[in-house]
Structure 1
Amino acid sequence: MADALDPLPDPLVELIAHRFRVLGEPMRIRLLERLRGGPAGVGELTAALGTSQQNVSKHLGVLYQAGILTREKHGTIVRYSLADETVFQLCDVVCGRIREQHSDLTALLRG
């Protein structure tokens, strides 16, 4: 394992930044949260999230290309599932901290 003082190589920095950009879109976070419950097709995701099929397909494609999702074809239906569940470790840390900050702010505002 690299020493904490060793800088990350530039190619690795680029890959890390790309992963954060992929996860930085609200619709993709919603899709991941829905897929946390198990595989789903585009139609199911469209209905669950109340958005267009085109929008869902676009974001699923980005998540698939990033290696975060897998897809399996069943007849005419393509079902997406998580390929990299470690994404939730990151989400849980960030979401947990934001929830804490929100609670603290709400308590301050209520006085």
Structure 2
Amino acid sequence: MRQQFLVLHVTDERAPGWDDAIDRPLMDAWLDHRRGPDGWEPNGFRVGDPATAREIVLRDDTVSVTDGPFPEFKEWFMGVEWIEADDMDQAVELLAKHPTARIGRVMVIPALEDPEGK
């Protein structure tokens, strides 16, 4: 059975920027794989600028909302998506081909089998 993974695409100030000649073919290949017979429909999306984000904290029945950007973040999310793979090794192999691996960082987190985490 295939497993789902949450993928976070984040910036990295030390990485090179987007180079259309290099990264467009990587992105096209990624999307082609996703649409292929062993793939799945693309379901990722880009996210807003850090200034549009909010942090919400509930403590002792008091809600605190802080506007972004958040000073503790050195990197920012470029986008998120869900992928399917047989296991973590295959997820890593797939994501190593994504342009974000070159121009930023990719974090992959396995989904739990059930909401209880059992």
TM range (shorter): under 0.3
Q: What TM-score, normalized to structure 1?
A: 0.23
Larger relative helix fraction: 1
**Structure with greater contact order relative to length (CA < 8 Å, sep ≥ 6):** 2
